[in-house]
Structure 1
């Protein structure tokens, strides 16, 4: 068996073994978004500029005020460390930063250069595109129908299916079991974020009845694999969706309008994840991204700890120990609003952690 699949499965097996509680046992933050069910989507014109026109820049981090100011410019931040902010920027945004007295440095002229796809284009084909991902999910569901069922959870701006693969011992029946969710590609250009949920799905179905621990998890939990939340962005090779909205700033909990989001849950992709969460008993979830090597836990929007801080840190430490990634509080890394983590914990008490691969 592929060693990469084994390592992914091992991490999840250890984490899943901790998950034997119900949602009602969690302390839920009291700031519940009253407009959770409101559908506010309005179709917008696609204003995305091709990735070849987007630079990757670094900006000296003088203080927290620097970060707040940069965030107000609607730049897509990739990483923040003690000295620099790393972000995407158009030439116009770079000029604006210079006018405002910042000193941006161009690290890469475009995304393909940063990823090495310009020199090694064959690398790009090692990642699943939308059609290949769809075929993989259909193959799993048709090969293992007794434990896997494929659902169309919703559709993207351009009408692509947002697939959810349910893995459990009775996939056609809604049982009173803990439910887990694994999402990839909120950002369409983070290709690796699709691969890990897919690998995990294969690991579960191929080792069912062979590995006793995996068999137990499949028999006693409902596991949802959603590898590509932003299929339009993935097909276009861009971070944002087809409406030029950063989906991981579009969730309604503590929404602020970052990432060009016009209103809470304005996009069909985030509406899909919201409706799926409301219809299911999601207790624990992982949202995959690609930028750093962090296990990013809530809160992201404020510095105060959650009521479940010890439990959340324990889960993050387990993942960090086996992956080599560094557990970090989201706000301590850099503040975000309207993201999947805070929505999940703030609105229904599910512990959602961002894994930056």
Structure 2
């Protein structure tokens, strides 16, 4: 996966020159983190269920991962006291600042990952990697942009298909990554999918898929946040976009937006849903792209995966309700999600479950893609299965190859299911 990375970096300046002017022209003053953010700590909370974890998130604290009912939670001292007053038992595991110090190893280079994690692609390298893929495989790969981020960066999309310049009557599938800025392993996942399906086109099984599908890959939905997270040469633990105090893109989608206690109305909250549905330009660009795939009244995207980290889960809609059968979801539809999700989880060793079993969310991509377009949409929470807190978002670059290839079987299953 990385053999072309440094070669691709050599063409970065040429590949990205067109992007620099709008970025520089539109960068706004960055938001100032509240003082309480400097006191964030990681806690473990035992014996939680979906309802309890949803209640934890209601306080403004954030559930980062769950293992055996034990939730790992990021919270300010005030939020921790509020949770204790509600009857939760919290054990402090350490400060977020200390965790970030542990993962920020070596002498930093501004604008790039910490030295020991240079196997990750920064934004410019990601763009260059896509350009190199198109150059190497012009007959089956084409790059474009679905729109601009808040600060003016392109949100690139790679199309992979045998007649890549034509819109054919073939099932389409979407893979998107990095809605949340600090989840950089997901960008590597999307790049891995793109390289695997193009570099291995001579493989009869890969060729059959590429020849009979139109595949869309979006490696970075949140380019501003992703850039900001490593801009200083050190990880910042940043999650949201860069619009004012930041919006959680995965709470800004228009289906059941803000309906059900699954997002935050506090702009400083980590799950802040924005001032209105689609108030973030990144989610609006994603909406417009997916809407554009309605041809002749029918949505051409039949299946999708939205990659996140971490917890090693395969999730399906709905997130806004714990009901399996409800408005917009029949028993037959739920059973298909459970069947396909279970099959994919068996292939990669993740845990399959309805999204709301983790905790209730509203305004997320899964609910919108299914509720609006009936796209067979899943979220994968990638490696690790659990972590000590913010450290879990920053696994060493040595795991990239293994943890992206780990999902090859699941990707193949969904590519097949898209044609069902």
Aligned partners of 1:130 and 1:231 also within 8 Å: yes
Of 36, 39, 46, the match for 2:31:
46
1:124 aligns with 2:143: no
Unaligned runs of 5+ in 2: 3-27, 107-113, 230-237, 265-270, 294-299, 383-420
Aligned length: 316
Deviation at 1:300, TM superposition (A): 1.3
**Could you tell me how far 1:71 is from its partner in structure 2?**
2.1
Q: Distance in 2 between matches of 1:227 and 1:53?
A: 32
Residue 8 of structure 1 aligns with which residue?
Answer: none
The correspondence for 1:326, drawn from 331, 335, 351, is 351
Could you tell me which of 196, 211, 224 is aligned with 2:189? Answer: 196
Whether the 8 Å contact between 1:108 and 1:114 is mirrored in structure 2 is no
The 5-angstrom pairing of residues 197-346 of structure 1 reads 197-208=190-201, 210-237=202-229, 238-243=238-243, 244-256=246-258, 257-258=263-264, 259-261=271-273, 262-280=275-293, 281-305=300-324, 306-307=329-330, 308-346=333-371
What TM-score do you get using the length of structure 2 for normalisation?
Answer: 0.69
The question of whether the paired residues in 1 share the 8 Å contact of 2:143 and 2:157 is answered with: yes
Q: Contact (CA 8 Å) 1:80, 1:334: kept in 2 or not?
A: no
Unaligned runs of 5+ in 1: 3-42
> TM (normalized to structure 1)?
0.80
Distance change in 2, residues 1:45/1:117 (3 Å): closer
Deviation readout 1:127-152 (Å, 9 max, x if unpaired): 11111111111111122111111111
Distance 2:318 2:276 in 1: 21
Structure 1: how far apart are the matches of 2:322 and 2:29? 34
CA-atom RMSD in angstroms: 2.7
Shift of 1:92: 5.3
What per-residue deviation string (whole Å, max 9, x for no partner) do you get for residues 265-307 of structure 1?
1101111111111011211000111110111111111122232
The answer to whether the Cα contact below 8 Å between 1:295 and 1:354 also exists between their aligned partners in 2 is: yes
Matched, 1:106 2:92: yes
Note if contact 1:81-1:333 (Cα within 8 Å) is conserved in structure 2. no
1:188 alignment partner, SS class: coil
- Is the CA contact (8 Å cut-off) linking 1:180 and 1:284 kept in structure 2? yes
Partners of 1:112 and 1:118 within 8 A in 2: no
Report SS of the residue matched to 2:195.
helix
| Distance in 1 between residues matched to 2:40 and 2:131, nearest whole Å | 35
Distance in 1, matches of 2:256 and 2:198, equals 37
Return closer, same or farther for 1:92/1:242 CA change in 2, 3 Å cut-off: farther
- Residues 57 and 104 of structure 1 are in contact (CA less than 8 Å); yes or no, is this contact kept in structure 2? yes
Deviation for aligned residue 1:94: 4.1
Q: State the distance in 2 between where 1:227 and 1:187 align.
A: 12
Give the secondary-structure state (helix, strand or coil) at the position aligned to 1:175.
coil
Q: Where do residues 22-37 of structure 1 align in structure 2 (5 Å cutoff)?
A: none
- Aligned partners of 1:294 and 1:328 also within 8 Å: yes
Q: Could you tell me how far 1:122 is from its partner in structure 2?
A: 3.6
1:77 counterpart (38, 50, 63)? 63
After superposition, give the CA deviation of every residue in 1:290-345 in whole Å (9 maximum; x if it has no partner): 11011111111112223212221222122112111111111122111111111110
2:44 maps to what in 1? 58
- C-alpha offsets along residues 18-52 of structure 1, whole Å, 9 cap, x if unaligned? xxxxxxxxxxxxxxxxxxxxxxxxx9973446987
8 Å CA contact 2:317, 2:366 repeated in 1: yes
